[in-house]
């Protein structure tokens, strides 16, 4: 029985009617990996214990699977036949965009890989695969002929019954039959000419498929709910005010600025099964650096936002970076934790934001509980206001003469993890600095990400930090060497397990099992270029740990 059916049955047991999201629930993360974060909480904590501290040093390779992208050409007479290939897309021929994030860049699996009923579902931009989770054999390959767009990294698929959903950089939501890879339909979710690019992992909650997109021009962000059967839109939540009088409109100089204000929903959020709130982070305001044309706090950019999943109506918000001026998104995964705070049991949401601050809120009400800085440099911030929000110092905004600041923020979208065993929140951080030169002297300002040149880039290294959510203090930090010739990197995500383990890549070469209590390495294997967050699942009473390194999946187990 697939997971969606299980959901349905769970729903039937819990309620007298076949409900939708009201009954949507997932079991604690263990055997399968049916959604972006494994379960709805964003904790990436697996309750599996077969692989644990006492035996992790015997962890061994189960299989390797190299994924071929693009059009399958076949391997010649002596090569085994390629897996069935299904081709979709609106372009006659795939458009090669060029640039750093070119559509023809080498295949890199950076997002979540689903595991349901012994089949893995993986993506890279314009590509999707089904893979036998026991053997690593590819069962089918779907290739999307793209019209173009920014191809930075696809974050994975969503699953509803037998239907898969993934986004394309040219702004379609594509639904595939999980059994065959055949396309059911594709729907435009954003306007390609408006320079949106869609790479988020859709998340399925009840009969809602939630999708978002990115945009580095000046267009507005939104979260959409789509019907899993028809692809028709159910509701849309704009992350900036669209009309005078909308909530947050008084945090913009005028409605024109708000309508071009960014705040994109490009990272999958988390879902509270009890309150039916979908909680997600939003991206930077736009224009990113010409901020004088958007005076005010710029709601709901750089915010944690909770909406009712049935209606898309706003329940609460908390802005983690009022009036951001550095492209420091707050899109990072919100992590839902039930735990004590100030001696009382609370339903919490935790986030480590790209601006270097860690936040704890009540996830039912949005009440702010704690802010701490998890980074060593904070000259850009003058302090915290009474709501715990960082107060930016405008002197550190990009200036014509160059201002020093952290480059690209202190963490990014690769997922963090939280272990209820240790009570610690784990996040990968990086410490890159440089100069931001404001290059647009026209008083009308620049658009989108324009108006800044960078220089003097320096990396002081990357690390994994463990944060005590009750105090905001860093309990341990494991730094990684770099600066030898490797740039500071956003790296890949994290996984904790009830086997008292933290799985994560180091600078990228090694997959490492750490002791989550202190960051001590217990096991490692050299895969070169670990590219996504490690995952774990159980098949035939054997626990697997799986990770991607570029175009290759590796699965490990105990024999």
Partner 1 sequence: MAILGSNARRAALALLLTALAWGVHPAEEPGSAAGKRNPLESHDFERPPDDPASIARGKQVFSVNCSFCHGSDGRGGEGGPNLLRSPMVLNDQKGEIIAAVVLNGRIEKGMPKFNLPRDSITDIAAYLHSIKVSKMSNFTPRMVLVGDAAAGRAYFNGKGGCTRCHSVKKDLAGIGAMDPKTLQDRIFAGGETGLLGAAAAGAKPRKVTVTFPTGETVRGDLVSLDDFIVVVSDADGHRRSIRRDGDTPKVDVVNPRQPHLDMIRQWEDRDLHNVTAYLETLK
Residue 491: CB minimum distance to partner 1, A: 6
Which residues, in sequence order, are CB contacts of 141 under 8 Å at separation 6+?
Answer: 67, 68, 69, 72, 82, 83, 84, 85, 86, 127, 128, 129, 181
Which residues, in sequence order, are CB contacts of 405 under 8 Å at separation 6+?
Answer: 326, 379, 380, 396, 433, 434, 436
Closest CA to 536 of 550, 552, 556: 556
Residue 326: CB minimum distance to partner 1, A: 11
Residue 514: CB minimum distance to partner 1, A: 10
Which residues, in sequence order, are CB contacts of 273 under 8 Å at separation 6+?
Answer: 24, 25, 26, 40
Q: Which is nearer to partner 1, 341 or 433 (CB)?
A: 433
Closest CA to 317 of 304, 331, 329: 304
Q: Which is nearer to partner 1, 151 or 208 (CB)?
A: 151
Distance in angstroms (rounded) separating the CA atoms of residues 95 and 151: 11
Residue 298: CB minimum distance to partner 1, A: 16
Residue 523: CB minimum distance to partner 1, A: 10
Residue 551: CB minimum distance to partner 1, A: 8
Kindly state the helix (H) or strand (E) to which residue 396 belongs, with its residue range: none
Q: Which is nearer to partner 1, 85 or 510 (CB)?
A: 510
Q: Which residues pair with 203 in a beta bridge?
A: 210
- Residues present in the chain in total: 559
Residue 404: CB minimum distance to partner 1, A: 5
Q: Which is nearer to partner 1, 437 or 469 (CB)?
A: 437
Q: Which is nearer to partner 1, 138 or 407 (CB)?
A: 407
Contact in structure between 10 and 25 (CB atoms under 8 Å): yes
- Per-residue CA distances from 559 to 64, 137, 339 (Å): 16, 20, 36
Q: Which is nearer to partner 1, 214 or 366 (CB)?
A: 214
Distance in angstroms (rounded) separating the CA atoms of residues 96 and 349: 41
Residue 60: CB minimum distance to partner 1, A: 17
3-state SS string for 313-353: CEEEEEECCCCCCCCCCCCCCCEEEEEEECCEEEEEEEEEC
Q: Dihedral of CA 179/111/82/143: which sign? A: positive
Q: Which is nearer to partner 1, 71 or 395 (CB)?
A: 395
Q: Which is nearer to partner 1, 29 or 527 (CB)?
A: 527
Residue 427: CB minimum distance to partner 1, A: 15
Distance in angstroms (rounded) separating the CA atoms of residues 17 and 73: 50
Distance in angstroms (rounded) separating the CA atoms of residues 6 and 229: 18
Q: Which is nearer to partner 1, 296 or 508 (CB)?
A: 508
CB atoms within 10 A of CB 202: 30
């Amino acid at each position: 029985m697939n997971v969606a059916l299980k959901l349905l049955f769970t729903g039937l047991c819990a309620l007298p009617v076949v409900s939708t999201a009201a009954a949507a629930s997932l079991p604690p993360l263990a055997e399968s990996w049916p959604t972006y974060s494994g379960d709805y909480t964003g904790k990436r904590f697996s309750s599996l214990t077969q692989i644990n501290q006492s035996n992790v040093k015997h962890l061994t390779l189960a299989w390797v699977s190299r994924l071929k992208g693009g059009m399958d050409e076949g391997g010649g007479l002596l090569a085994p036949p390629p897996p069935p290939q299904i081709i979709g897309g609106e372009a006659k021929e795939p458009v090669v965009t060029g640039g750093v994030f070119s559509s023809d860049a080498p295949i890199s699996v950076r997002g979540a890989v689903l595991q349901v009923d012994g089949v893995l579902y993986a993506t890279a931009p314009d590509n999707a695969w089904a893979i036998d989770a026991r053997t690593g054999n590819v069962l089918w390959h779907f290739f999307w002929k793209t019209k173009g767009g920014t191809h930075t990294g696809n974050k994975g698929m969503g699953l509803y019954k037998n239907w898969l959903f993934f986004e394309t950089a040219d702004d379609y939501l594509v639904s595939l039959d999980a059994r065959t890879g055949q396309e059911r339909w594709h729907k435009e979710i954003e306007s390609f000419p408006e320079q949106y690019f869609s790479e988020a992992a859709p998340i399925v909650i009840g009969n809602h498929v939630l999708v978002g997109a990115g945009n580095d021009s000046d267009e507005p962000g939104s979260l959409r709910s789509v019907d899993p059967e028809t692809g028709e839109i159910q509701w849309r939540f704009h992350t900036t005010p669209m009309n005078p009088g909308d909530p947050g409109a008084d945090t913009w100089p005028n409605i024109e600025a708000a309508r071009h204000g960014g705040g994109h929903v490009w990272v999958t959020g988390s879902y509270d099964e009890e309150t039916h709130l979908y909680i997600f982070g939003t991206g930077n305001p736009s224009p990113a650096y010409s901020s004088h044309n958007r005076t005010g706090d710029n709601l709901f950019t750089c915010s944690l936002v909770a909406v009712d999943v049935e209606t898309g109506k706003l329940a609460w918000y908390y802005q983690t970076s009022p009036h951001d001026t550095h492209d420091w998104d707050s899109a990072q995964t919100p992590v839902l934790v039930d735990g004590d705070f100030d001696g009382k049991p609370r339903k919490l949401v935790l986030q480590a934001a790209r601006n270097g601050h860690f936040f704890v809120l009540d996830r039912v009400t949005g009440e702010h509980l704690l802010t701490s800085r998890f980074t060593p440099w904070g000259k850009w911030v003058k302090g915290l206001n009474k709501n715990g929000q960082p107060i930016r110092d405008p002197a550190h905004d990009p200036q014509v003469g160059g201002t020093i600041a952290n480059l690209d923020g202190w963490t990014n979208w690769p997922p963090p993890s939280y272990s209820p065993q240790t009570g610690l929140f784990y996040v990968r951080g990086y410490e890159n600095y440089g100069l931001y030169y404001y290059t647009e002297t026209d008083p009308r300002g620049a658009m989108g990400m324009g108006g800044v040149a960078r220089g003097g880039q320096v990396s002081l290294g990357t690390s994994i930090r463990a944060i005590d959510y009750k105090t905001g203090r860093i309990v341990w930090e494991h730094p990684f060497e770099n600066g030898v010739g490797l740039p500071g990197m956003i790296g890949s995500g994290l996984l904790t397990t009830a086997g008292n383990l933290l799985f994560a890549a180091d600078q990228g070469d090694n997959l490492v099992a750490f002791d989550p209590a202190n960051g001590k390495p217990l096991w490692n294997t050299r895969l070169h270029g670990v590219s996504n967050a490690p995952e774990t699942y159980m098949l035939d009473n054997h626990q697997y740990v799986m990770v991607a390194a570029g175009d290759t999946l590796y699965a490990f187990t105990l024999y």
